[in-house]
Amino acid sequence: MSAELRTISIPTRKVPANLLTARRKRHGSAYVCIVCSLPMPQPKFMCHVIEGGSSALHVEDEDRYRPDGGDMCFLPLGSDCLRLHPELKPYAHKVQPGTIG
């Protein structure tokens, strides 16, 4: 029997609506930070979001994860939000420059 996968509830951060609007105008909204919803055209970090978007999977448990209906795949995590939520660090995959876009 394998141990339970480590997951963390993804926190949310409210950003001013006018900032959100301005960023969306500039970057579109296809790719947004999982914490603050600001567009992240070139994210430095990604989280493997599971359970329909509510949780992130621990980096070291990636190998043991079996995708189910709640698998949202890899989504951006903004550097600011990571700094504000250091508890997310073990759940953030560093993006190699040039692998996205």
Binding of Zn ion by 33 (CB under 5 A): yes
Does residue 43 interact with Zn ion by CB under 5 A? no
Stretch that binds Zn ion, among 2-10, 25-33, 44-52, 93-101 (CB under 5 A): 25-33
Task: Please report, as a single letter, which amino acid is at residue 27.
Answer: H
**One of 10, 36, 50, 88 touching Zn ion (CB under 5 A):** 36
Q: How far apart are CA 18 and CA 2, in angstroms?
A: 46
How far apart (Å, rounded) are the C-alpha atoms in residues 84 and 76?
A: 15
**Residue 9 three-state SS:** strand
Binding site for Zn ion (CB under 5 A): 33, 35-36, 78, 81
